[in-house]
Amino acid sequence: MSDCIFCKLANGEIPTATLYEDEDFRVILDANPATKGHCLILPKKHYADVYEIPDELLEKAFILAKKVAARMTEAMGCDGLNIVQNNKEAAGQTVFHFHIHIIPRYKNDGGMVGWKPGKLTEEAKNEILSAFSAAGGALQ
Ligand code: 5GP
Ligand code: ZN
Task: List pLDDT tens digits, range 10-19.
Answer: 999 999 999 9
For residue 7, how far is its CA from the centre of ligand 2 (angstroms)?
A: 4
Report the nearest atom of ligand 1 relative to the CA of 34: 10
Beta strands 80-84; 39-43: pairing state: unpaired
Position 110 scores a pLDDT of: 85
Task: List pLDDT tens digits, range 80-93.
Answer: 999 999 999 999 99
Q: For residues 38 and 127, what is the distance between their CA atoms, to the nearest angstrom?
A: 37
Asked if 23 and 41 count as a contact pair (C-beta separation under 8 A), the reply is: no
Per-residue pLDDT at 1 exceeds 80: no
38 included as an active-site residue? no
For the chain, give the number of residues: 140
What domains can you pick out in the chain, each with its CATH number? 5-111 (3.30.428.10)
